[in-house]
Amino acid sequence: MDEKEGDRTTDLFIENSIALQKVLVNAAVSMDNLAKEVKKLIELFEEAGKSFVETKHKISESGIGKDEGLIGKLDSLVQQNKTIAKGLVLLEKTMREKDATKPLPEFKF
C-alpha cells in the first residue's frame, strides 16, 4: 500500500468516525427531548388528576354526585404513564451506556 492509499484510507476512516459521532449525538439529543416531553406529559396528568380529585372532593361535600370509577381510571392512567416514563428514562440510560462503551466498528478498505 503506497502513501496516497494510506492517506485516503485514513481520511475515509476519519470522515466515517465523524459522521458516526454526529449520528450518536443526534440520537442522544432526541432521547433527551423525548424524556423531557414524557416528563411534561406525566406532570400534566398528575396536575389534572389532582385537580379532578379536588373538584370531586368539593362535589362530594356538596352531595351533588360521585365519580369513583373515573377517578380510579385516571389514577390508573397516571400510574401507567409513570411506568412508561421510567421505562423511557431507563432506555435512554442504557443507550447512553451502550454508546459510551461500544467501540467503533473496524473498517476494512
Please state the domain extents for the chain.
3-99
Q: What would the DSSP string read from start to end of 50-86?
A: HHHHHHHHHHHHHTS---HHHHHHHHHHHHHHHHHHH
C-alpha cell read off for 56: 370531586
**CA dist., res. 86 & res. 83, Å (int):** 5
pTM attached to this predicted model: 0.47
**Which span out of 10-19, 46-55, 87-96, 100-109 was modeled with the highest average pLDDT?**
10-19
Residue 22's pLDDT is 92
